[in-house]
Structure 1
Amino acid sequence: MNAIIDKLKMLKYVEVTASWLFANAKGRDAKTFVKSPQFASYPEPTIQITSPDCGASPATLSPEYMAGGDGRLPGLEWESVPGVKQWLLICEDVDAPLPNPICHGLYLGISKDKLSVTNSDFKPENEKSTRLNGGFYYGTNRLWIPPRPLLNHGIHRYFFDIIALSEPLDEKLAASKPTREQLAKEIDGKILGWGRWIGQCERVWK
Structure 2
Amino acid sequence: MATPYKVKESRIDDISLLEPEAIYSYADYLKWTFEERVELIKGKLFKMSPAPRRTHQEIDSRLHVEIGTFLKGKSCHLYSAPFDVRFPNLTNDPDDQTFTVVQPDLCVVCDPAKLDDAGCKGAPDLVVEILSPTTASKDLNEKYRLYEEHGVKEYWVVYPGENVLEIYELIDGKYISRGKFVREDQVRSNVLKGLVLNLEDVFEEVG
* Higher RCO by CA contacts (8 Å cutoff, separation 6 or greater): 1
Q: By percentage of residues, which structure has more strand? A: 2
Q: TM-score, normalised by structure 2?
A: 0.26
Under a length normalisation based on structure 1, what TM-score does the superposition of the two structures give? 0.27
